[in-house]
Structure 1
């Protein structure tokens, strides 16, 4: 069996503490062994020898007695001086060691230099930790005392190593090291694979050298920022400025956006791989400037092309790029708003060939189509960003309220929206399925949100709701309730208060009818048969937008007897209340038993006015126009349209034939009447009546607006007592704009009216005062 012999260089014995030079030589040998042969480790004897020598060096009695004999506290001062000697000797040693490394570094360049720097840094800092441990006595006593006394440039032994590295080696080599780093990064940016762990080691080294001169126990990033971050950012800027300039010249804007997005992602990944997190903000700013801000003009010019061609994905890419720079998106929002407004106006122009004949559904669908399209764009490409949403809202508000249909500030949009809602919520129209109804109501509310004249919508909607309730023509009570809830949510309780009261009245009327049927049954003699089976609705005057009939009317005897019984019943329930009969809204059904060759009688659905006309033919097959006027007392403007429908349906014949109803004309029952339907609806609104109702509604709106403006002015002045004229006008607009946008001349007229009524008075300097 062979044997091996290992030669170990042992440290000599610890010298006499009185021999200070010999003690330092001993310490220097131990420090050198650690610095040069750290990989071999340090044996316990050497460790204890060095530790003891440091202690002896700092507490040498000879040195103490030679230093300050007879001085109180001389032992402390002596230790102070000896600690300083040791500290200075260590600095001299480190300087010499590091100068040799500087000389060695000159033999290397680029990646070899990085490898050399990292290797020597690791060796040096590891050794520093060991030496710091061996010199604990110096740290605990001399260094601590010096630092406590406020001495500058005194550090613990480990920190001293870092300081000397920075002063002696780092100042000489950092520029070459940084050049090598930047070459590696550029290689990576050009697609080559690099050893990025080297760069991370360099970054960590630069960060470790950041020592706070004022407080050595703290560290700063100053060294790293000045020597690494600053040149790195400058090189990054130059690289991307050159690359982007060339790429834009040779490729399309869309391809450039893809390239820029990729580059930005790469830089963020680079931070995660080997850069310090502190660089992320300035690096982003540098990249954003070079890749985006410097080319923002051509990017924004391309935006209109992308909009015109619905390039959602590319617009999203542009949005993500331009949102990175200050105010980068503002021009895009302005272009987007103008584009949507133009698209909305064009969509209305296509459908509005004849505004008077425009179908509400066609108009509302045109508005919704544009909103849906560009809301999808905001959601998909612009990530529902609030400012883009605001631009969409501004554009929609413009084309909904000011377009070809709403020329010269008319209120056509809210009117058509109310008519569309009526068509959706009414039975017998091509309404939606129950499952789709809620979705359609939400779409109606989308358009409603943009309507400026919400009071116009309210007026038309309430009139149409009243008709649906009176004629029980609502397709769904749930849908009606849902619609009112949506309006209430957007406009408040006051906006829907009357609508909700209308529903309450209908419920009260149901209960009342049940009581009346019991009452009526008690009046009939045994064997009697009711000629008229009627139900009644009691509508509160202040809540229903309905006016008394504008014609005299004598109902037929059959109807008179029925409604007189109800009046008796109602008078017993509510004494003192007056009922005004709204004949124009009453309707009923009559059976036609006179038609030849018809086994099953026809059922005519008619208005009460038409019923009164038809019942006259029970007494006589022929009636003159004058006879009908005398019997019904109806005005010609009511009678003629009602009879016109009966003539058009050929229920009645007129002589001479082809003429319109009027004085001197004769009418007779058409015994040869035929129809494919058994039930015929003859209660059809005439266009002239509809037009008149629209005009009446608009008149009511104008009157209500005057009252609303006057009450707002009084309310403001009551609170403020005195106010400048212009301020009052401005405040009035602010208070009312949620219902409609008042015109300034109209507000001034209302102020003049209130001055005449002595609610207000004129004061000096264009001021108005409130009169209690």
Structure 2
């Protein structure tokens, strides 16, 4: 037996199956499956088996062929959809909203068809994403190409929405804007179809800018058409409606645009459309609204209307400034009328001054102060109920009161007489709260007086008479009044008034000692 060992034979790996044949065979299976999905026959398919077929194709380094093949089938399908479904749904060019094309599809129906096409496409792409998940991970990402779902969106954008062969984009934008216009005119529209189209535009992105098709194609046209609509609307409404109804209509328009955004537009559009409505319906008609209706609203104390005007004017630049200026001018006019009434009561018909007795002078003074206080109460009410206690408005009101009060040269004397009359008799039997209210009102007017030294002179005279004649019925009220005057004008202003009280107390004590 030979000792020579037999050489070992090398084991060769099995021959690889023909790669071209394998791809063709596998691709035919996948291509047919994709077509069945497009035909809505997905229920007859085995998705796990299809996933394995796609897996083998990518595993054999044919991911590029698979990717390009999928893109070609989707492209062919969308081109067929454009011709067979979308284009026949076009509304007639120049037709009204009620007219239809030969196939019976009107403007609103066009959105319904597009909604169906879009939803079907998304459903198909989700199925394909599941089948081709391995291709996305192993081929698409490393090759830096869109994943299959994103590829489907890009193809839908280019073949349907931005078709180079058919004016689908023009019809889509025209119908969307027309539907919104109808809703603004209180027509009932199918918001579901409008929202579906808007959502579609929001999901599709531009290839170069990466912005949404909504922002690039739709939003600017929507804002332009809205600006023109409200420009015309504002001119019409301001001419036909009174101020109260106009403000209500503006408020309603703002609310409806806000609701429209909530129903089917992008939230990013809300501040833009709001600015347009505010500009066209408020800013451009500020002076007209004020000249036409602010004074009647104030005169009739329509607090709800005034509050609505304050709220709406606060939305625009210089809105509150214009409103403050107009109300301030109105206060000055009312104050001027009060001053003229007093002048007419103290002047003869021929214009010559006549002597009036002290009682008449007091009556005139009390009437003037009371009218000013009534006017102050009126605008305090306006502040509380309509202007949200806006400090800037209060400052403007104070300046107006100060202006006309100091236009009356007798205002220091009149205010002193008013306090004198109330401290002599008006506060008898009054509660502490009522006493404080009267004094606070008087001191409020005193704050506006520029010639406080003149007021001081009259107040000393009136206080001296009350103390000497014993007409002051409430020492506590007298002292509280002096304390309030001190807060307004400082300690030096009231020092002599307090000395008068001290002198009267010393005199009273001396008389008591003398009697004893």
Offset at residue 253 of structure 1 (A):
5.1
**Is residue 56 from structure 1 mapped to residue 37 from structure 2 by the alignment?**
no
**Is residue 198 from structure 1 mapped to residue 193 from structure 2 by the alignment?**
yes
Residue 140 of structure 1 is matched in structure 2 by: 137
Q: Which moved more, 1:129-138 or 1:415-424?
A: 415-424
**Is residue 375 from structure 1 mapped to residue 374 from structure 2 by the alignment?**
no
Measure the CA separation in 1 of the matches of 2:291 and 2:467.
55
Residue 439 of structure 2 is matched in structure 1 by: 441
Measure the CA separation in 2 of the matches of 1:441 and 1:546.
20
Measure the CA separation in 2 of the matches of 1:271 and 1:243.
20
Deviations 1:690-730 (A, max 9, x none): xxxxxxxxxxxxxxxxxxxxxxxxxxxxxxxxxxxxxxxxx
Measure the CA separation in 2 of the matches of 1:302 and 1:451.
33
Q: Which moved more, 1:21-30 or 1:287-296?
A: 287-296
Residue 586 of structure 1 is matched in structure 2 by: 507
Alignment CA distance shift 1:41-1:420 (3 Å): farther
The TM-score, its normalising length taken from structure 2, stands at 0.76
Residue 36 of structure 2 is matched in structure 1 by: 33
Residue 259 of structure 1 is matched in structure 2 by: 249
Superposition map of 1:601-680 within 5 A = none
**Is the CA contact 2:128–2:148 (under 8 Å) kept in the aligned structure 1?**
yes
Gaps of 5+ in 2: 1-17, 91-106, 347-355
Residue 332 of structure 2 is matched in structure 1 by: 341
Superposition map of 1:369-768 within 5 A = 369-406=374-411, 412=412, 416-425=414-423, 430=428, 432-453=430-451, 473=472, 475=474, 477=476, 495-496=490-491, 544-546=498-500, 586=507
Deviations 1:191-224 (A, max 9, x none): 222211211112111111136857xxxx74x421
**Is residue 238 from structure 1 mapped to residue 159 from structure 2 by the alignment?**
no
Q: Secondary structure at the match of 2:319?
A: coil
User: Which of 1 and 2 has higher RCO (CA within 8 Å, sep 6+)?
Assistant: 2
**Is residue 119 from structure 1 mapped to residue 116 from structure 2 by the alignment?**
yes
**Is residue 362 from structure 1 mapped to residue 361 from structure 2 by the alignment?**
no
Offset at residue 474 of structure 1 (A):
6.0
Q: Secondary structure at the match of 2:143?
A: helix
Offset at residue 458 of structure 1 (A):
6.7
Residue 47 of structure 1 is matched in structure 2 by: 47
Question: 1:95 aligned to 75, 82, 91, which one?
Answer: 75
Alignment CA distance shift 1:582-1:111 (3 Å): closer
Residue 684 of structure 1 is matched in structure 2 by: none
Residue 279 of structure 2 is matched in structure 1 by: 289
Alignment CA distance shift 1:274-1:465 (3 Å): farther
Residue 108 of structure 1 is matched in structure 2 by: 89
Measure the CA separation in 1 of the matches of 2:456 and 2:63.
94
**Is residue 327 from structure 1 mapped to residue 318 from structure 2 by the alignment?**
yes
Offset at residue 124 of structure 1 (A):
1.2
Alignment CA distance shift 1:196-1:488 (3 Å): farther
Residue 299 of structure 1 is matched in structure 2 by: 289
Residue 703 of structure 1 is matched in structure 2 by: none
Residue 187 of structure 1 is matched in structure 2 by: 182
Alignment CA distance shift 1:362-1:457 (3 Å): same
Offset at residue 405 of structure 1 (A):
2.3
Measure the CA separation in 2 of the matches of 1:23 and 1:467.
118
The TM-score, its normalising length taken from structure 1, stands at 0.52
Q: Which has the higher helix share?
A: 2
Alignment CA distance shift 1:431-1:347 (3 Å): farther
Q: Which moved more, 1:185-194 or 1:201-210?
A: 185-194
Offset at residue 232 of structure 1 (A):
1.9
State how many pairs are aligned: 460
**Is the CA contact 2:237–2:246 (under 8 Å) kept in the aligned structure 1?**
yes
Measure the CA separation in 2 of the matches of 1:441 and 1:583.
23
Measure the CA separation in 1 of the matches of 2:463 and 2:56.
106
Alignment CA distance shift 1:438-1:169 (3 Å): same
Alignment CA distance shift 1:435-1:133 (3 Å): same
Question: 1:24 aligned to 2, 7, 27, which one?
Answer: 27
Deviations 1:555-605 (A, max 9, x none): xxxxxxxxxxxxxxxxxxxxxxxxxx95897359xxxxxxxxxxxxxxxxx
Alignment CA distance shift 1:135-1:468 (3 Å): farther
Q: Which moved more, 1:354-363 or 1:295-304?
A: 354-363
**Is the CA contact 2:336–2:404 (under 8 Å) kept in the aligned structure 1?**
yes
Alignment CA distance shift 1:458-1:98 (3 Å): farther
Measure the CA separation in 1 of the matches of 2:25 and 2:290.
78
Q: Which has the higher strand share?
A: 1
**Is the CA contact 1:347–1:370 (under 8 Å) kept in the aligned structure 2?**
no
Alignment CA distance shift 1:459-1:330 (3 Å): same
Q: Secondary structure at the match of 1:351?
A: helix
Question: 1:278 aligned to 263, 268, 273, which one?
Answer: 268
Measure the CA separation in 1 of the matches of 2:221 and 2:25.
48
Measure the CA separation in 2 of the matches of 1:489 and 1:142.
84
Indicate the structure (1 or 2) with the bigger Cα radius of gyration: 1
Offset at residue 399 of structure 1 (A):
1.6
Measure the CA separation in 2 of the matches of 1:25 and 1:428.
107
CA RMSD of aligned residues (A): 4.0
Q: Secondary structure at the match of 1:586?
A: helix
